[in-house]
Amino acid sequence: MTDTAPFLKLTNEGAHKILAAAVAKAHEIGIPECISVVDPGGHLICFTKMDGAFVQSIDSSLRKAMTSASYGNPTGLMPEGPDIRLAIATDGKRINLPGGLPIIVDGHVIGGIGVGSGTGAEDHVVAKAGLEALDDTQKFE
């Protein structure tokens, strides 16, 4: 067993490509969104608040991106009860609202996208469109 392993990294250019595709989808469906793209540690790479998006959704989009990157799963799938306890235990950093998707390439979580300001279904559609901008990312329904 080795002490080190190679890893994939989401570049700034790749993050902005995801962001641009998500913004285009939000325009297409007519929903102004807050969109955050983070690295696997949950650190912000890029963000936008579209004109008309809710200011409070700045935080929720970031938390959705951080949660999906940390857990390697879409947000909004955890049953009620444990989700609230985890939100409390993490001072609100772990969120279970739909609209967060991990960015996974070749089985490696390289980041997350979080979208907020629409309904959960609208946020998910916009996040999904962002992922589709990168050819090798795992796709989600």
Q: Per-residue pLDDT tens for 50-69?
A: 999 999 999 999 999 999 99
- CATH of residue 88: 3.30.450.150
Alpha helices per DSSP H over 36-108: 57-71, 82-89
Q: What pLDDT, on the 0 to 100 scale, is given for residue 126?
A: 98
**Which residue positions in the chain have pLDDT lower than 70?**
none
Q: Per-residue pLDDT tens for 64-90?
A: 999 999 999 999 988 777 777 887 888
pTM of the model: 0.94
- What is the spatial distance between Cα 113 and Cα 100, in angstroms, rounded to a whole number? 6
- Tally of structural domains, the chain: 1
Q: Is residue 141 part of a domain?
A: no
Give the HSE-up count for residue 104: Cα atoms under 13 Å, Cβ half-sphere: 17
Domain that holds residue 116: 12-131
Q: Is residue 88 part of a domain?
A: yes
Q: Is residue 136 part of a domain?
A: no
